[in-house]
Amino acid sequence: MPELAPRDDPAPMCAAPQSRCEAARWDDAGLHPAADVVLEEVPVAMVYNGISHAVMLASPADLEDFAVGFSLTEGVVQSAAEIRDIEAVPCCDGIELQLAIAAGRMAELKLRRRALAGRTGCGLCGVESLQHAVRPATRVPATGARISADALQRAFRCLAQEQVLHRATGAAHAAGFATWAGELMLVREDVGRHNALDKLVGAMCAQGLRGEDGIALITSRASYEMVHKAAAAHIGLLAALSAPTGLAIRAAAESGLTLAGFAGRPGRRVYTSPERCAS
């Protein structure tokens, strides 16, 4: 497996992604004092050209990746080059990610601005109307690339080995990017599954990796939002450890994305565009 990209967050940090706490171990003999390690989550606000656009609960790590990935997968910008600057600023028991974006993109954002005061794992909190809730999915490019079942399973095994926060806390989702040969290239973790995928997309931009160059692996279910974000990043195959939703399957079919569920074990399912799956 190639050496993974660095995971140190270059932005200022308000908190560590994990912390120690006192707990009690409970067994048949009763309660016993025990220390534990827990995953942290903090409010993170995306602020574009001085205007707050969205607030999510997220793990305070890889924040620059988060800012870039969220901006791309939510259509705030069309390319990372339209982000002029990113600064992480501790504020009000949380973190503001202050982004300077191109004037044209900011004008468009103001026209469709949504107040997304979000909760962990919910990609639609605060959407102002139903017509904004389900957007057309981006068409993903057809490259002719394929991945075998063995390569996919190997990539998931490597992903499990790289889930540092989850091993320590048991509470983190992960998103990984692997080549079509099953080599794991990048991993990002977060308390929220959407956030983990956004961080992965941002890390791909930083590393110069295109969505067409490989596949995305996620340790959660495949919801509509996860499919939408993968398609926006031009990732042609999204493989989830758990099941997809019906809306996710329809979005994947619309975008031409290959959607696989229960993908880390034998008996995996392929729901759309099976041409990217080799025997």
DSSP E strands in 49-201: the ranges are 51-58, 83-91, 94-101, 116-117, 147-148, 173-179, 184-190
DSSP E strands in the chain: the ranges are 18-27, 30-39, 42-48, 51-58, 83-91, 94-101, 116-117, 147-148, 173-179, 184-190, 214-218, 237-240, 258-261, 269-272, 277-278
Q: Tokens 């660095």 correspond to what residue?
A: 6
20 forms bridges with which residues in the sheet?
A: 37
Candidates 122, 125, 158, 205; catalytic one: 122
Q: What are the structure tokens assigned to 76, written together? A: 């705030």
Question: Cα torsion at 100, 104, 108, 113 (round to 10°)?
Answer: 20
Q: Tokens 């982000």 correspond to what residue?
A: 83
Active site residue 122: yes
Per DSSP, 192 falls in state S
Q: What are phi and psi of 244, to 5 degrees?
A: -90, 165
The whole-angstrom separation of Cα 142 and Cα 208 is 20
The whole-angstrom separation of Cα 6 and Cα 61 is 12
Neighbours of 82 (CB within 10 A): 18
Q: Cite the active site residues.
A: 122
